Amino acid sequence: MESGVGIQHFMILSTLMFFIGVYGFLTRKNLITILLSVELILNSVNINFVAFNKFLYPENLGGHFFAMFVIAVAATEVSVAIAIIISLYRKLKMIDVENVNEMKY
């Protein structure tokens, strides 16, 4: 076992990452920065998955695989979101969220 690093440290780290992501998501206006904040949130969840797997259920690898699938889903989500952002940029020449209400209705 690692000396002194317990599951609670990992959970506090992932909590801080999650709420930094939420703060960025709420305050930023640029769509790409919002996307990066969402990535921060997803990766904090991944930290939790792997830490729980290591400390609570070390006999199987479910958390590792779940983290891997979350990474893959995040990659697909980012690719689609970047595509939408690029096409919005071609149309509007800017990507602030206040001006993007084309997809609302």
Partner 1 sequence: MLTSDLQDKLEAVQFRKIFFSLLAVLIGAAVCITTILNHSFPQVTDKVLDSSMRTIGLRLLSYNEGGFVLPFEVISILLLAAIVGSIIIAKKADSK
Q: Where does this chain bind partner 1 (CB under 8 A)?
A: 1, 6-8, 11-12, 15-16, 18-20, 22-23, 26-30, 32, 53-61, 64-65, 68-69, 72-73, 75-77, 79-80, 82-87, 89-90, 94-95
Q: What is the nearest approach in angstroms of partner 1 to the Cβ of residue 28?
A: 7
Give whichever of 39 and 54 is closer to partner 1, judged by the CB atom. 54
**In the chain, where does DSSP find H-type helix?**
7-27, 31-55, 62-92
> How many Å apart are CA 84 and CA 91, to the nearest integer?
11
> How many Å apart are CA 44 and CA 17, to the nearest integer?
6
Q: What is the nearest approach in angstroms of partner 1 to the Cβ of residue 72?
A: 5
> How many Å apart are CA 87 and CA 70, to the nearest integer?
26
